[in-house]
Amino acid sequence: MKISPYKPEIRFFDIDAIGHVNNSVYFTYFEMARVHFFGQLIGKEWKWTENGVLVAHNEVDYLRPVMFEDKIEIHVSVLHVGSKSFKLGYEVKLGDTLYAKGNSVMVAFDFKNNVTSPIPEEYKGILERLIEK
């Protein structure tokens, strides 16, 4: 399955006093890239309240500043799949140049019972097929 990159619109609000995208905004970009990623994998039929996920850990490495006019893409990849959690990787690129990279550990969560849960088998299989070798 080919997953297209997320192409955020850089808002003036995202820019800090130095003139580049503020460091905290990258996590919002990663969040929107995840929504885009899951939308392509599962579509609108995902029942988030029954088979939801929570962010357990986020990290980012800033390699180059992203400016207001830049037309970046965020590529999402699956790095690891466990029984209750999985790890997603992100690359913020402008063309072939890497501007930032990061990852998130996502935990499967049952919002009705307020507990972690195993990743549903159908979703786990989809994620495992996408693991970067």
The residue ranges of every structural domain in the chain are: 12-129
What CATH number was assigned to the domain covering residues 12-129?
Answer: 3.10.129.10
Q: What is the pLDDT of residue 71?
A: 97
CA 32, CA 125: separation in Å to the nearest integer? 23
CA 30, CA 6: separation in Å to the nearest integer? 9
| pLDDT bucket at 128, cuts 50 / 70 / 90 | very high
Q: What is the pLDDT of residue 46?
A: 66
CA 10, CA 39: separation in Å to the nearest integer? 21
Q: What is the pLDDT of residue 31?
A: 97
User: 3-state DSSP call for residue 58?
Assistant: strand
pLDDT at 91 over 80: yes
pLDDT at 45 over 80: no
| pLDDT bucket at 133, cuts 50 / 70 / 90 | low
Q: Which of the pair, 81 or 120, is modelled with greater confidence? A: 81
Instruction: Retrieve residue 125's tokens.
Output: 């299989």
For 102, other C-beta atoms within 10 Å of its C-beta total: 20
CA 44, CA 107: separation in Å to the nearest integer? 20
Query: What percentage of residues in the chain have a pLDDT greater than 70?
Result: 94
Q: Which of the pair, 131 or 59, is modelled with greater confidence? A: 59
